[in-house]
Structure 1
Amino acid sequence: MLPRRTVVGAADPEIVEAMSLSASEYWRSLAMAGQEQMRLVRAEFHRRLPQERGLRTTARQWFLIEMITGSEIMAARPLFQSAMGVPAMSDLNSQTAYWDAAATTKTFTHPLHMPWLDDVDEHAAILDYGCGYGRTMQALEQQGFTDLAGVDTAPGMISRAHALHPTMRFAVLDAPPTLAHPDASIDVVILFAVLTCIPGNDAQRRLVGELSRVLKPGGTLYLSDLLLQDDERNRARYARFAERYGTYGVFETGDGAVCRHHPSDWFTSLLADFEIADTRRITVATMNGHESKGIQILARRGPLC
């Protein structure tokens, strides 16, 4: 155990400078380290602290007082993540803290291909799962659809949605992916850029199963998501994080999210209980402004067994 000690003066002006991207990546990796790694982490912290010029004072003070003195590391880890401005990724398949923090800053751009909805009645019950701030619901309303509802795991996103679209129906999911809707009660489910935010295979399957439950026989699932990219930047981060998360295509973004890009055949497997009516490839800007390849799938719910 390392003794309590002060490494640099608390008033050191270089220490209180804004965190640089390279520093944030390093400290994020420390925040997510397992308990068995922490002795090495503490030694490395002492070695590197004088070299870092982007470490926030709050994080530095917490690390020195709590971590180095050997307090309950795993219990206190969320405090360190909070001090660093990094969401606590205790549940990678919802990441509510990240999406709450991002609610006012992100712009979503997956396009709504209206010809796919030409045969949908204007009074059909449409559910936007992962509605964010209501962008897609607004587009549907402008096309004349009247029975619209949106749900999201992030209260911050729903607050923004209410502020932007006060007459629309939005709700926070308390226990995702469980929905309050009865069986076979929805005509169309919109699922735009949601699976990319759910890294786990099982969590994705649970979500699709829940959407199948609430869809009427013959109901429509309109999915839009991101494919594996073939550029050097993405290939490098897929490889970097494959061992940590166990799936090639799962990666950490520079601002603290854990996301996933998919091979196209994964969607075929995921939607095995649906009839695929149509697919289309798209190019879309991600929430962080990178042009990426995506896929849209129009699927039909089979008859009830």
Structure 2
Amino acid sequence: MTHSAGTDGYWETTGADRTFTHALDRELLSLHVPLNARVLDYGCGYGRLLAELDALGHADVQGVEPSAALVARCRKENPGLRITRAESLPLPFAEASFDAALLFAVLTSVPQEEERERAVAELARLVRPGGVLYVSDVPLQTDEASIERYRTGEAETGVYGTFRMPDGGVFVHQRPEDFHALLERHGFAVAEERQDVTPTLHGGTNVRLQIVARRGR
């Protein structure tokens, strides 16, 4: 999980103490990401998925995270993992450096559309042709509480789906077709898609969307 520079330091303070909740679908991962793949976890937070990938036998895993507090937490809780703090793009890697990239609960944490575009464009640069991008994120929810949050957020930001939580975190939920369009604009084609229910940072549950998309050759 990562943050946007526009969230008023949330991921350096309150957000840095949260327990991240999007589980790795090991079956989905194994179908598309072999153990010898070069893997980038973009917006890796405190290294939760890096540690899991390492335990599964993935030998070449690299994390990137913009929050200094989350990087420090990673180095304390998961010493020995490869993590780079990168506050801005482009990232310090050559084109096509990775066979696969993970993007877990990152897009929901980036309320600015232009920043989401830049992030996926950068992953298109870094993932080799034929490689995969594994996205786990939160689409628009249909329950009444979420709809009320969206309406309140729309009044504040002008964007339906954007909302501010009581602890100060700003998030955005989008339609599944918006995720598809974003990936397609940057040369990724959806190979597999799943939906399930996941816990939230704040103790509730959401329907989540998982997409594995392959970069065009």
2: CA distance, partners of 1:202 / 1:228: 19
Asked if 1:135 corresponds to 2:48, the answer is: yes
Sequence identity, in percent?
37
Distance 1:135 1:223, change over 3 A: same
Q: Is the 8 A contact 1:276 1:300 kept in 2?
A: yes
Equivalent-residue separation in structure 1 for 2:33 and 2:118 (angstroms): 26
CA distance in 2, matches of 1:143, 1:254: 36
* C-alpha RMSD over aligned residues: 1.6
Q: Could you say which residue in structure 1 is the equivalent of 2:193?
A: 279
| Correspondence 1:1-305 to 2 at 5 A | 93-95=5-7, 97-102=9-14, 104-118=16-30, 119-175=32-88, 177-272=89-184, 273-303=187-217
Higher normalized contact order (CA 8 Å, seq sep 6+, divided by chain length): 2
Q: What residue ranges of structure 1 are gaps of 5+ in the alignment? A: 1-90
Q: Please give the per-residue CA displacement for 1:133-160, whole angstroms capped at 9, x wherever unaligned.
A: 1111111111100111111111000100
Q: What is the distance in 2 between the residues matched to 1:189 and 1:268?
A: 16
Is the CA contact (8 Å cut-off) linking 2:65 and 2:87 kept in structure 1?
A: no
CA distance in 1, matches of 2:94, 2:154: 38
- Distance of aligned partners of 1:243 and 1:104 in 2 relative to their CA distance in 1, 3 Å threshold: closer
Offset at 1:197? 0.6
The residue identity in structure 2 corresponding to 1:281 is Q
**Preserved CA contact (<8 Å) 1:229 1:293:** yes
Question: CA–CA distance in 2 between the matches of 1:212 and 1:96?
Answer: 28
Runs of 4+ in 1 over 6 A off after TM superposition: none
Gaps of 5+ in 2: none
TM-score (structure 1 length as normaliser):
0.66
Higher helix share: 1
> Looking at CA atoms only, which structure, 1 or 2, has the larger radius of gyration?
1
The number of aligned residues is 212
Would you tell me which structure has more strand in proportion to its own residues? 2
Residues in 1 aligned to 2:17 and 2:29: alpha-carbon distance in whole angstroms: 30
SS in 1 for 2:35: coil
Alpha-carbon contact 1:93-1:200 (below 8 Å) kept: no
- TM-superposed CA distance for 1:115, in Å, is 2.2
Give the distance between the partners of 1:297 and 1:114, measured in 2 at CA. Answer: 13
Letter in 1 for 2:127: L
Tell me, yes or no, if the aligned pair for 2:14 and 2:167 is still in contact at 8 Å.
no
Normalised by the length of structure 2, the TM-score is 0.92
The 1:259–1:150 alpha-carbon spacing in structure 2 relative to 1, beyond 3 Å, is same
SS at match of 1:280: strand
Partners of 1:172 and 1:94 in 2: CA distance = 17
Q: Retained in 1: the 8 A contact 2:15–2:169?
A: no
Deviations 1:119-174 (A, max 9, x none): 53323211101101111111111110011111111100010001111111111112
Match in the other structure for 1:39:
none
Match in the other structure for 1:19: none
**CA distance in structure 1 between the aligned counterparts of 2:165 and 2:121, rounded to whole angstroms:** 28
CA distance in 2, matches of 1:94, 1:218: 33
Do the aligned partners of residues 277 and 242 (structure 1) sit closer, same or farther apart at CA in structure 2, a change above 3 Å counting?
same
